[in-house]
Amino acid sequence: MSTLAIHNGRVIDPALGRDGIADVVIVDGRVARVGPNEGDAVIEADRIDATGLVVTPGFVDLHVHLREPGFEYKETIASGTVAAARGGFTTVCAMPNTDPPLDRRAAVESVLRQAEEHAAVRVLPLGCITRERAGKELAPAGELAQAGVVALSDDGDAVADARLMRHALEYAGAFGLPISQHCEDPALVHEGQMHEGWVATRLGLRGRPASAEETFVARDIALADLAGAHLHIAHVSTAGSVALIRAARERGVRITAEVTPHHLTLTHEEVGFGSSGSHDAANGGGANGYRSIAYHSNAKVNPPLRSHGDVAACAEALRDGVIDAIATDHAPHAVSDKEIEFDLADAGISGLETALGLSMSLVHDGRIELPLLIERLTAGPVRAWSLDQHPGLEGLGTLAPGAVGDVAILDPDAAWTVTPEEFASMGKNTPIAGRELRGRVLATVYGGRVVHALEGVAL
């Protein structure tokens, strides 16, 4: 019998409405007891002193790219899940745009086997909506569900064919699988490289208009309504999308949604005027407002970073519950994929290790309460996809007795500097390198085992 006692932290467990000083006792990988001084009664245990810290259920991420198989030079299941652990995530849902893509049983089983052997935290794969992600024919949803996928997505691309999307929604419903759609109309996106707006005009880059996302959100809401199926909108990024989702939820359509930490906090100005890697000090420019530009490909992401109004609307929707979950869309890339011409550079941000720090800025400037933010990282995503209905995942996202023993221990006020070279992720591609964040995960417990602990944490 192995026992872990986490002493004297402020335990925030939104699903149970708990917020107070307590001990968390985990026995044989499952939560045994939570309450004041409960740990004192345990005689033989590993102990963590969480005095002055916040103790929450382990975070659940509905959207990560682990890149294995096929792109192991960008990330592996091993490296990506260590990055997850460092970010406080104990469950990550892995997108199927690997090579080969996860559009058949054998591919899913292979990922699950790799995860069993090498993953630091729980990996729940998604399957493809269409075969080969080609947007032409349905992938075998039933077979994929049996193999263990928790949702379907062609993420990276939208399913552009409306008829196929309708049938995908209808068909997946029979197997209880939500469909997570990357909403961007390829026709409107065309060759767009960043958000369409004044920054793109300044940089001479083609734009991806907000309407490219909004037309597909509107279309897919109508299709989900028609199909009576569960649609999940991945990485919501515009105020218009928020309004559409809000209205659809109000009239009872089964829509859930996620937003990334970067869409909650960063704007398209990062691309042209962000702080990292600028030439201007060398060019006699220096800090001169909007005088000097750069092309920060580490801020290139799809959907793109948007305007201040969009960022504000996303944050408000997260607070209101129109958006259920924070998901990172962790998209690691190699330097050789990023440090090239902007229009050739891959899109994506390595986000697992900065997720809490970035999101905490909403708490620090008073736009969301800490327990609600934690809800959107734990119970929110679990509820969105009913992940706790899967065998073995009872109580996921909470610290209820009997739940999986997954815990994040954080210091909401700890200031730290983003240093990509120190990321566990192989993807060093972050637009916020060198920036100071406030709020950090100090230790992570997965199934009762400590899988991440910063130096100096009292274990």
Partner 1 sequence: MTTETHETPGASAAPLLPGSGEPLASAPAPGPWRHRHVLDLDDFGADEIETVLELAGQMAEVLERRIARVPALRGHTIVNLFYEPSTRTRASFELAGKVLGADVLSVSASTSSVQKGESLIDTVRTLRAMGAGILVMRHASSGAPYLAARHTDAAIVNAGDGAHAHPTQALLDLYTMRRHFGALEGKRVVMVGDIAHSRVARSDLWGLSAMGAEVVVCGPPTLLPHGLRPGDRPEHAESALPFVEVETDIERAIEGAHVVMALRLQSERQEGGLLPSLHEYSLHYQVTAKRLARAHPDHLLMHPGPKNEGVEIAREVAGGGRSMIEEQVTNGVAVRMALLYLLALGRDAAAKAGEGAS
Under the binding rule (CB under 8 A), the answer on residue 307 touching partner 1 is yes
Q: What angle do CA 76, 80, 81 make, to 5 degrees?
A: 115
Binding letters toward partner 1, positions 232-271, x by CB under 8 A: -------------------------------------x--
Q: Which is nearer to partner 1, 155 or 269 (CB)?
A: 269
CB of 335 to partner 1, least distance (A): 10
CB count in 10 Å sphere of residue 93: 24
Which of 2, 51, 201, 389 forms a contact with partner 1 (CB under 8 A)? 201
Q: Which is nearer to partner 1, 157 or 269 (CB)?
A: 269
Helix axes 308-320, 239-250, angle to 10 degrees: 30
CB of 176 to partner 1, least distance (A): 40
3-state class of 112 per DSSP? Answer: helix
- Contact criterion met (CB below 8 Å) for 364 and 439: yes
Tell me the C-alpha distance between 437 and 440, whole Å: 8
Under the binding rule (CB under 8 A), the answer on residue 213 touching partner 1 is no
Q: Where are the alpha helices (DSSP H) in 256-378?
A: 261-265, 269-273, 308-320, 335-338, 355-364, 370-377
Under the binding rule (CB under 8 A), the answer on residue 287 touching partner 1 is no
Of the candidate spans 119-127, 133-141, 197-205, 245-253, the one that interacts with partner 1 by CB under 8 A turns out to be 197-205
CB of 288 to partner 1, least distance (A): 7
User: What are the angstrom distances between the C-alpha of 40 and each of 1, 25, 226?
Assistant: 17, 10, 56
Of the candidate spans 118-126, 244-252, 254-262, 278-286, the one that interacts with partner 1 by CB under 8 A turns out to be 278-286
Which are the contacts of 107, defined by CB distance < 8 A and separation ≥ 6?
Answer: 69, 96, 98, 100, 101
Of the candidate spans 23-31, 109-117, 256-264, 282-290, the one that interacts with partner 1 by CB under 8 A turns out to be 282-290
CB of 321 to partner 1, least distance (A): 28
- Contact criterion met (CB below 8 Å) for 243 and 221: no
Q: Which is nearer to partner 1, 105 or 300 (CB)?
A: 300
Of the candidate spans 11-19, 47-55, 284-292, 392-400, the one that interacts with partner 1 by CB under 8 A turns out to be 284-292
Of the candidate spans 76-84, 106-114, 159-167, 275-283, the one that interacts with partner 1 by CB under 8 A turns out to be 275-283
Rounded (10°) CA dihedral 128, 133, 134, 137: -10
Which of 47, 131, 198, 371 forms a contact with partner 1 (CB under 8 A)? 198
Under the binding rule (CB under 8 A), the answer on residue 280 touching partner 1 is yes
Q: Which is nearer to partner 1, 51 or 201 (CB)?
A: 201
Tokens 């559009």 belong to residue: 103
Catalytic residues: 329
Which of 41, 99, 142, 279 forms a contact with partner 1 (CB under 8 A)? 279
Tell me the C-alpha distance between 79 and 87, whole Å: 13
Which of 142, 285, 402, 434 forms a contact with partner 1 (CB under 8 A)? 285
In 14-170 the beta strands, taken as DSSP E runs, fall at 18-27, 30-35, 46-49, 54-57, 59-64, 89-94, 122-125
Tokens linked to 188: 């409107």
Of the candidate spans 19-27, 130-138, 311-319, 339-347, the one that interacts with partner 1 by CB under 8 A turns out to be 339-347
Tokens 């299709």 belong to residue: 223
Tell me how many residues contact partner 1 (CB under 8 A).
Answer: 38
Under the binding rule (CB under 8 A), the answer on residue 337 touching partner 1 is yes
Which are the contacts of 458, defined by CB distance < 8 A and separation ≥ 6?
Answer: 48, 49
Binding letters toward partner 1, positions 33-72, x by CB under 8 A: ----------------------------------------
CB count in 10 Å sphere of residue 343: 14
Tell me the C-alpha distance between 285 and 262, whole Å: 28
Which of 204, 401, 402, 434 forms a contact with partner 1 (CB under 8 A)? 204
Under the binding rule (CB under 8 A), the answer on residue 211 touching partner 1 is no
Q: Cα 458 to chain center, whole Å?
A: 28
- Contact criterion met (CB below 8 Å) for 427 and 350: yes
Q: What does the binding site for partner 1 look like in residue numbers (CB under 8 A)? A: 196-207, 269, 277, 279-280, 282-285, 288-295, 307-308, 336-337, 339-344
